[in-house]
Amino acid sequence: MLLGALISALNGALTKILSEDMSALEIVFFRNLIGVVIILYALKHTAPKLTGGKLHLLIIRGVFGFLAMILFFYTITVIPLGEAITLNKTSPLFGTVLAFYLLKEHLDIKTVVALLIGFLGIVLITKPFGFMISYEHFLGILGGFFAAAAYTTIKKIKDMYDARVIVLSFVGIGTVLPAMLFSLAPYVDAPDSLQFLFQEFTMPNSVYLWSMIGFMALISTLSQWLLTKAYSASKIAIIGVISYTNIPFAIGFGWMLGDKFPDALTFTGIALIVLGGILVSKAKKQ
């Protein structure tokens, strides 16, 4: 999960850079298209051993994953990277609630406190005091919910499908749905609030863009595999807290891209995130 969080933060930085030349929907399409090729090659090299049996859950996981990704990528293009990453990190909170109701996972007071400590760390990092939630920020939170729904679905099918097959459902549907939206774009007069879903397709025309797309697709697919393995191996509440580490990673990448270096409040927030992870791990052992 820690490695997946690092790669996820790097992916966010690359998305921010690519958004100067491409729409969020195009980034999602190419990222997933190359991911399909990578996963199919991996499956051809070593066939999956698990037999499956819940195709509808596999498809639902893919749809939730696509919705989470397009909303996340879109918010990256319209608001600062740190804010977009933070809003996406509401997913562990949603995930804990979903796991409690849908998977009947135990949720004690210590785990709740640990999650709240992690969330407080996020607040200190982003410092949203006096912050008014705009439409773009609402979409970021909604993306966090769909990400949680996707991860919760993984828990339902982890013993039925190989992790690569689960990722394939995500990147496959994440390729087909954008292609359908591109096809519909010339015929749909979408309102401004939904315009990002109906963008006309434009083929990248430079070696630089193709190399960036290829690199992003490669590390994104690796990140999805790592996240899938992580959520398959432990409780969502535990993995969710550890996933908060991609916020300090994102701050680091943002600093390298020209963002202001973190202040004392930010470092305090990072410390609280780490503390939350330690506390929730202890709660699990008990």
Summarised one tens digit per residue, pLDDT across range 114-163 is: 778 877 776 665 565 555 567 787 788 889 889 888 888 887 887 888 88
Identify the domain containing residue 11 by its residue range. Answer: 2-285
Q: Which helix (H) or strand (E) holds 180?
A: helix 163-184
Residue type, 247: I
Q: Torsion angle, CA of 258/118/155/95, rounded to 10 degrees?
A: -90
Phi/psi of residue 179, nearest 5 degrees: -60, -40
What pLDDT, on a 0 to 100 scale, did the predictor assign at position 207?
A: 92
Q: Write down the pTM of the prediction.
A: 0.78
Q: What share of the chain is helix, strand, coil (3-state, %, to 5)?
A: 80, 0, 20
pLDDT value at residue 8:
84
Q: Which residues of 161-174 are buried (b: 16+ CB within 10 A; e: fewer)?
A: bbbbbbbbbbbbbb
* pLDDT at 70 exceeding the cut of 90: yes
Q: Which two tokens stand for residue 20?
A: 């100067």
Q: What tokens does 25 get?
A: 């929907």
Query: Per residue in 201-244, pLDDT tens?
Result: 988 888 999 999 888 878 877 887 787 788 777 666 677 667 77
Overall size of the chain counted in residues: 286
Look at residues 189, 102, 93, 107 and name the one whose alpha carbon lies nearest to residue 148: 93
Q: How many domains does the chain have?
A: 1
